[in-house]
Chain A
Amino acid sequence: MNAAQPNLVMLKKLLIVAMVMFAFGYAMIPFYKKICEVAGLNNLLQPDTLVEETQQVDTSRLLTVELDANTRGLPWQFKSLQSSVRMHPGELVEVMYEIKNNSNREITGQAIPSYAPQLVSQYLKKLECFCFSKQVLKPYEVRQMPVQFLIESGFPADIKTVTISYTFFELSSDFASTDVSGETGEI
């Protein structure tokens, strides 16, 4: 069956192609992450920097910012100390949140922000936030944490109320050892 020989060589080559492409699918994950990082996309968990000149406070109007706090699957109590704040576009404000660990084990959590309407995310600049790093709470520990942010003055005038919401998720133990804000998702 010498006629089969070149076919078997071809079979091996093509199988390698298929395996390389399988690996390529996985390689896309860090690759996209890098692109987002370089392009500054999807930057939920990193502090913003302000370009000073563009931030004039627009005192002619007021925005209501509702502050929402949730936990998902971890025995923590999480709330904001004010339920909402009134602010001018361009004005830097600070609000406080509080978390409490209601269990007797040490738990690592990570907060993920989400905004409504979605448009806010383009105008929202956060200088300080507990979501920039993971939070480790000892049994029954209570912690208060500030968020410092502004909504740029170019924000459309027809929107009067916006919601900033945070949800705390538990990080599984193998995850807790990595820094979520930088290298997310790769295991």
Chain B
Amino acid sequence: MAAIHHPGHEHEHHGPPSGIMRWLTTTNHKDIGTLYLWFSFIMFLTGGVMALTIRSELFQPGLQIVEPEFFNQLTTLHGLIMVFGGIMPAFVGFANWQIPMMIGAPDMAFARMNNWSFWLLPPAALLLITSFLVPGGAAAAGWTLYPPLSTQMGMGMDMTIFAVHILGASSIMGSINIVTTILNMRAPGMTMMKMPLFVWTWLITAYLLLAVMPVLAGAVTMLLTDRQFGTNFFNAAGGGDPVMFQHIFWFFGHPEVYIMILPAFGIVSQVIPTFARKPLFGYSSMVYATASIAILSFIVWAHHMFTVGMPVTAQLFFMYATMLIAVPTAVKVFNWTATMWRGSMTFEAPMLFAIGFIFLFTIGGFSGIVLAVVPVDIVLQDTYYVVAHFHYVLVSGSLFAIFAGTYYWLPKWTGNMYDETLAKTHFWLSMIFFNVTFFVQHFLGLAGMPRRVPDYALQFADFNMISSIGAFGFGFSQLLFLYVILKCIRGGAKATDQVWDSADTLEWTLPSPPPYHSFETPPQVSFDEYHVKNVQNVHSK
């Protein structure tokens, strides 16, 4: 395993090699961060095209654009690609860029392994996408891959299972890297309780990943052996139990949804204090809240399966445990609000997205609590209400935080300011079209429209049409995001080192853009409350 990268001791110029080989062989955390972010953006577009195809079909009742079988493949692959290709790699990209710079480390702990974790992703994505072309098409059992559907489908399912294995291996390697970097490579003076919250949330997320990705790998391995090697884990015919899969899957699945939101909490916890010009309110309660959310996330999985026929005592246990998670989550929301209270706030694009995040994520949290109530969930399970819930927490939650983080750190990464007007336009378009798309889905769900259907009864027509219009608006607004990023990479007003006047974590003490290798000699950090006060910044040129 490659250890810490120490170039510059042997040779003078230590910029990157040029051309494609730079990206294939790079072990530099900044390059790898960039790769992760671009990969995730491409996956967002791919998953987005699928989503728009789905919404086109649902624009009107009746079947007009795609076959029902293909529709099911689209919903399945849309979910898998957005979760494993979009949201998760985006956060790993942030981790790669930011964690070493925020804790004063020269690079990630295992630079070579870092390269492998990234380069596993494109083959997995290719497997998923090309599975559309094999006989029988792509997996169509939903992103949750429930048997008996998933034990019956064609080879598209085997390709999906293999892709999930690869993605899992990548995530596990990535988490090992992140945990080791954070625990072992902090600059002197950076104690655990002085770490920026983004670093804390990623530390906890990495532990969650290590705990549950192997469980998912186990679950899909069981599917694979049931399909190909005659085992009967989930096969009722051989004495197995399909519901068992749901238990194992959701033991992974619920922590997984927190894997997708904790780094978002981290980003928002960096952005809000910067633009409110006040230190984060309740830093230590934020750390404890994140840890409690992570621990509780292991004992709530069955809220996804209230209708499988479990005893009432189990339903009650999982219902109360689920509601309990709302407590530390609310602590966070209150802390962010308290941070803004009486702050001298300005509303640049990162702040707009962070506030949009708080507002809409909280709506998603509330619909989650509604779904946690067993008798209500029995009615709403598998309806569009659930679809609305998880898009509020994942799109206006995780994705909005990704937007906020991108605008927040883009000037640092590129050395140029982005176009503020266009970025604000991107925010308002996203905000409006997001709500047009997903708010009405609550009503569809309450009225009984099932999810994962290509056709629906006439009474659902109007809301579906509104939702589809919103979806196209949201999708095209993201091209503006791409434009703003490209424009910022190519030029623009020069960013200062500090970029934002009250940004006070270590990365802002580096030049913008930061040198290819930063913090080769650890900086001396000292703190006054939660500010980095005095940094003898000894980075190389």
Which residues on the B side are within 8 Å of A24 (C-beta)? 214-215, 218
Q: Which of B183, B185, B219, B230 contacts A25 (CB 8 A)?
A: B219
By CB atoms of chain A within 10 A, which of B216, B222, B237 has the most?
Answer: B237
A175: B residues at CB distance < 8 A: 232, 238-239
Q: List 19 A-B contacts (CB under 8 A).
A: A10-B180, A10-B184, A14-B175, A14-B179, A18-B172, A21-B210, A21-B213, A24-B215, A25-B215, A25-B222, A28-B215, A42-B243, A169-B238, A171-B239, A172-B238, A175-B239, A184-B240, A185-B239, A185-B241
Residues of chain B contacted by A169 (CB below 8 angstroms): 237-238
The chain B residue sitting closest to A184, CB to CB, is B239
- Inside 8 A of A51's CB, which chain B residues have their CB? none
> Does chain B have a CB within 8 A of A180?
yes
Contact B3 A25, beta carbon cutoff 8 Å: no
Contact of B109 with A by CB under 8 A:
yes
Number of interchain pairs (Cβ within 8 Å): 109
B233 touches A29 (CB 8 A): yes
Task: Report how far A180 CA is from B241 CA in the complex, Å.
Answer: 12
B231 at the interface (CB under 8 A from A): yes
A117 to chain B, nearest CB (A): 13
B5 smallest CB distance to A (angstroms): 11
B532 at the interface (CB under 8 A from A): no
Cross-chain contact of A21 among B185, B212, B237 (Cβ < 8 A)? B212
- The contact size tier of chain A is 35 or more
B210 touches A14 (CB 8 A): yes
Could you tell me how many residues of chain B have their Cβ less than 8 Å away from some Cβ of chain A?
A: 41
Q: Which residues of B contact A18 (CB under 8 A)?
A: 172, 176, 210, 213-214
Type the 1/0 row for B213-231, where 1 means its CB is closer than 8 Å to any CB of A: 1111111001000000011
Residue contact B311 to A41, C-beta cutoff 8 Å: yes
Report yes or no: B238 in contact with A11, Cβ–Cβ below 8 A: no
- A21 with B232: CB separation less than 8 A: no
The list of the 5 closest CB pairs from A to B, nearest first, reads: A25-B218, A4-B3, A184-B239, A22-B214, A169-B237
- Which residue from A7, A25, A41, A42 sits with its C-beta under 8 Å from B180? A7
A63 to chain B, nearest CB (A): 22
- A63-100 contact mask (Cβ, 8 Å, vs B): 1 or 0: 00000000011000000000000000000000000000
Starting from the known contacts A18-B172, A26-B222, A172-B230, 15 additional A-B residue pairs (CB-CB under 8 Å) come to: A4-B3, A4-B4, A7-B109, A10-B179, A10-B184, A11-B1, A14-B179, A18-B210, A23-B218, A25-B218, A41-B310, A73-B237, A110-B239, A169-B238, A184-B241
Measured between C-beta atoms, what is the minimum distance from B241 to chain A in Å? 6
* Residues B217 and A22 in contact, CB atoms below 8 Å apart: yes
Question: Do A25 and B248 have beta carbons less than 8 Å apart?
Answer: yes
Check A25/B238 contact, CB under 8 A, given A1-B3, A10-B184, A11-B176.
Answer: no
A17 at the interface (CB under 8 A from B): yes
A39/B247 contact (C-beta < 8 A), A21-B212, A21-B215, A172-B238 known: no
Is B202 among interface residues, defined by CB-CB distance under 8 A?
no
Which residues from A are CB-within-8-Å of B311? 39, 41
Residues 229 to 277 of chain B near chain A (Cβ within 8 Å): 230-233, 236-241, 243-244, 247-248, 251
A136-187 contacts to B (CB < 8 Å): 167, 169, 171-172, 175, 180, 184-185, 187
> Does chain A have a CB within 8 A of B211?
yes
In chain B, residues 307-357, which have Cβ atoms closer than 8 Å to a Cβ of chain A? 310-311
The answer to whether A112 touches B237 (Cβ under 8 A) is: yes
Q: Which secondary structure dominates where chain A touches chain B?
A: helix
* Chain A residues, CB < 8 A from B241: 42, 184-185
Q: How far is the CB of A171 from chain B (nearest CB, A)?
A: 7
Scan A2-17; emit 1 where CB is below 8 A from any B CB, else 0: 0110111011001101
Q: Mark A30-67, 1 if CB is under 8 A from B, else 0.
A: 00100000010110000000000000000000000000
Residue of A nearest to B176 (CB): A14
A28 near B239 with CB under 8 A, answer no
Minimal Cβ-Cβ distance residue in A for B177: A11
Closest to B313 in A: A39
**Does B91 sit within 8 A of A, measured CB to CB?**
no
Cβ contact within 8 Å between A180 and B248:
no
Task: Give the chain B neighbours of A23 by CB distance below 8 A.
Answer: 218
CB B206 to nearest CB in A, in angstroms, measures 9
Distance A3 CA – B109 CA, assembled complex (angstroms): 10
A180–B180 CA distance with the chains assembled, in angstroms: 46
Does B215 contact A10, Cβ atoms closer than 8 Å? no
Asked if residues B184 and A7 are in contact (CB atoms below 8 Å), the reply is: yes
B184 touches A21 (CB 8 A): no
Contacts of B244 in A (CB 8 A): 28-29, 32, 185
Contact B248 A28 (CB under 8 A): yes
- Measured between alpha carbons, how far is A185 from B215 in the docked complex, in Å? 18
Judged by a CB distance under 8 angstroms, whether B110 is at the interface is yes
> What residues of chain A lie closer than 8 Å to B240, measured between beta carbons?
184-185
Task: State whether B211 touches A17 (Cβ < 8 A).
Answer: yes
Of the residues B110, B233, B237, B248, contact of A7 by C-beta under 8 Å: B110
Say how far A178's CB is from chain B's closest CB, in angstroms.
8
Query: Which of B213, B218, B310: most chain A Cβ within 10 A?
Result: B218
| Contacting residue for B232 out of A7, A72, A73, A187, CB 8 A | A187
Most B Cβ at <10 Å: residue of A1, A29, A73: A29
Interchain CB contact (< 8 A) of A17 among B180, B210, B239, B248: B210
Least CB distance, A59 to chain B, in whole angstroms: 31
Complex formed: what's the CA distance from A8 to B177 in Å? 10
Residues of B within 8 A of A1 (CB): 3-4
Asked, given contacts A4-B3, A4-B4, whether A187 binds B231 with beta carbons under 8 Å apart, the answer is: yes
A3 to B107 alpha-carbon distance, docked (Å): 13
- Do A180 and B239 touch across chains, with their CB atoms under 8 A apart? yes
Which of A18, A22, A110 is the most central at the interface, judged by chain B CB atoms within 10 Å of its CB?
A18
Q: A7 and B214 in contact (CB under 8 A), knowing A25-B248, A172-B230, A175-B232?
A: no
- What are the residues of chain B within 8 A of A11 when measuring CB–CB? 1, 109-110, 176, 180
In the assembled complex, the CB of B209 is this many whole angstroms from the nearest CB of chain A, namely: 9
**Complex Cα gap A3–B6 (Å):** 11
Contact present for A112 and B236 (CB under 8 Å): yes
Cβ of A187 to closest chain B Cβ, rounded Å: 5
Complex Cα distance A24/B210, Å? 12
